[in-house]
Structure 1
């Protein structure tokens, strides 16, 4: 490496960080790594809680260049809140990919955002990294078969040391992830299997895999036929019989990207296609329906009559990544799919709209779950997501906890004798973050404990609870 970044004529300009919505305020990146042994608590942490909440999210190590598209861009940072014996501690670490390590040596961003198409030359980054794009294990954090993994969108995850949160290496899960993985694999609590899919820019555009409870690959990447173009699919659902993929028409347009256009194209005329993939490996059932978009699923399960129920947040279009504008009003929706006839019915579960990040008790994945938690806005709110909504899908009753701060994705926390919900929230006024612990049976009553975190945790994205 001989050239400096300043001499690279193709290097994109810096992003205007000061005026970027997702690089300021509650979203501003955190560059400090800290360890604090005992945190201030308002209220009382339940004595039967023992474990850690880990959350990953896009957090650029240095001010980005070219562009920054939330939530796809940014480096991973893992935040950990550990709870035991009524006390809490905190630590955080960057996911140190080769890109982050080299940028730390140089003291500035070298790789641009994913929408730019810029790749640094060998003269700047060396032969091994020349022509590469930034690795982005910044979406989710998942534990399976003793592996703690920082998950990327459509790439292999990074293995993290559970004790120190040190970055170890990219992980392919015995070859099941050799072509990559969704950031949202699903773990069947009954079999211990981790099921995943991966989309690709080249044929085969879509594959699925299975990792056994012992960490071995039970199914290597298996092509899913039926796509004529590369499609972005963020999340999946799982039942005891099926892998469920909603193929909404967000298409990768490489030709447009090469000529300065958008990498992603919303093509509503293609409609939505749903793949029911039997976990036993038998023939895939494709179902066609009208167009909509899904970022996240809550859960899915099989019904006695052979139909499949899928609960998710439905959008009219993928706001923020494409040109469509207008009222989107994402709503919690239940789809009932008939594999025999191809019939689809979709019903809005709750009257509440403007919600996202649905979660259930992970022990109920693939089963009828009863209650779903989401993040949304109260009627009085004029901007950020500041409420946790708890939806009873059987009665239609909603409960809400509104702390008046920018609240993150909820997590269900099983205790030894009782269960809880937890979430990180950041006050947009003082920019301080807190972890809220709610009674699972009465979440609207407010927090049993509010844990003050030593640094601000940037808003977004996904996390997990690790029992100890």
Structure 2
């Protein structure tokens, strides 16, 4: 795209009151100061007394100092590096509690492996929002669903950027990510936050990308380049192509014609796939997540975008559906594109994350399951549903955008609150290898760590909250044999809040 034309389009987007991601559309204005019911915090406290499993959603007020962990089993000699994971941890201030899990202030955790020892630490991401509210001792800004009486005006998305969803390594820094604003730079050793990333800095795009939406799910191709998108409230999407050190190579705006919620996307070796779920922001309620509804007559659309020029090439229509997360996409020589999704039949899972914040656990939510799609060059498609539920899909880093056969996910066998198991699916044969933690565990996303560019090698690594002991454990599995159980487990003497995503940085 011509740079002058792009910046002109971008300035129109940025100048609009809808320049933010859909969840933050109203935040360019003074948010409606309707008081949040004071009973929300009390409701959760009462529910926690009766249901200790809710401890994973309880409020955290302090950082976790560097702590050596007790190890069960033997740490493999070839496991060296740091697991980083992030999620919302600051849910309450004063008498107020956030109404949706996605609103909480982000906390970054590190688990550092080396010389047979393992250390944990955790720190809040010191965003301007967090720092200002920490000093005031109360919430100052309304969120997408939580309306605060007398809230300060929100002039841009980074005013309420909680940096709570994902973390990646870029150059010599970590970037912690949100949905609708800038990445935050973090020191990988100390976990100290520094400043927002100005995406266009030292590039021809200059200040034109500052504060633009940058999703929490960048894709890093095997060569190290970073691709991402940001969805604007006017239905347009900003596309990004960065080098491994974060230097902007190219950016463009495409008209997605979509105003729902979009959390994730995919790349192949040639294309970007924006997979637009069957959602609209037209439901009942004052909050964005509360208003988000599933449109059962609205097809999922797939926009196929050329990676080299960031231009729209083709679009497909699929049956209605909703997915938070996708695992991988790859394409054949004839142009057929394959991808997988952890697909839900509706949007109840999103609303259930609001119910959990109020201590409600009895609401039924349809689970997601792996669906394998093939997009045909003639505009047709096929879909294959895989038995069993799945979330948080992961593949080997060296296969991003290329053909993969193994897909690692979390699952639910008996627990309706959170995941309780992990599984490996061979998408060619349908073979499944899984490990069930048990009804007392709440299982988080597990990530792959290996020193070899070979699918099936290395380890699967992730945390789980053991409810009876109120402790979190870090678990290490042989990636090619999950069913044998953890080959090493390390216990924290405390629990940490349930998080979202993470990554492993080898040393």
Partner of 1:106: 136
Matched, 1:345 2:345: no
Match of 1:174 among 200, 208, 227: 200
Partner of 2:332: 303
Partner of 2:424: 390
Partner of 1:3: none
Q: Distance in 2 between matches of 1:360 and 1:319?
A: 26
Partner of 1:206: 237
Q: Distance in 1 between matches of 2:493 and 2:315?
A: 49
* SS of the residue 1:105 aligns to: helix
Q: Distance in 2 between matches of 1:235 and 1:259?
A: 21
Describe how 1:7-406 pairs up with structure 2 within 5 A. Answer: 10-14=34-38, 15-16=40-41, 17-19=44-46, 24-60=54-90, 62-63=92-93, 65=96, 67-70=98-101, 72-118=102-148, 120-121=150-151, 134-174=160-200, 178-190=211-223, 192-201=224-233, 203=234, 205-220=236-251, 222-227=252-257, 229-253=258-282, 262-281=290-309, 282-321=311-350, 328-338=366-376, 340-348=377-385, 350-353=386-389, 355-378=390-413, 380-381=414-415, 383-404=417-438, 405-406=441-442
1:174-194 Cα deviation digits (max 9, x unpaired): 35664121100101112x110
| Greater helix fraction, Structure 1 or Structure 2 | 2
Match of 2:486 among 439, 447, 455: 447
Backbone CA RMSD of aligned residues: 2.9
- Extract unaligned runs of 5+ from structure 1: 1-7
Q: Distance in 2 between matches of 1:408 and 1:259?
A: 27
- TM-score, normalised on structure 2? 0.81
| Displacement after TM superposition at 1:56 (Å) | 0.6
Shift in alpha-carbon separation, 1:66–1:133, aligned structure 2, 3 A: farther
Shift in alpha-carbon separation, 1:346–1:169, aligned structure 2, 3 A: same
Q: Distance in 2 between matches of 1:119 and 1:302?
A: 51
- TM-score, normalised on structure 1? 0.87
Q: Distance in 2 between matches of 1:260 and 1:453?
A: 36
- Residues 265 and 322 of structure 1 are in contact (CA less than 8 Å); yes or no, is this contact kept in structure 2? no
Shift in alpha-carbon separation, 1:178–1:333, aligned structure 2, 3 A: same
Q: Distance in 2 between matches of 1:42 and 1:453?
A: 12
* SS of the residue 1:223 aligns to: strand
Count of matched residue positions in the alignment of Structure 1 and Structure 2? 446
| Displacement after TM superposition at 1:120 (Å) | 4.6
- Residues 99 and 146 of structure 2 are in contact (CA less than 8 Å); yes or no, is this contact kept in structure 1? no
Q: Distance in 1 between matches of 2:146 and 2:199?
A: 30
- Residues 254 and 312 of structure 2 are in contact (CA less than 8 Å); yes or no, is this contact kept in structure 1? no
1:304-357 Cα deviation digits (max 9, x unpaired): 22111101211111224359x97623111111012x321121112x3112x211
Partner of 2:9: none
- Residues 54 and 141 of structure 1 are in contact (CA less than 8 Å); yes or no, is this contact kept in structure 2? yes
Q: Distance in 2 between matches of 1:416 and 1:467?
A: 12
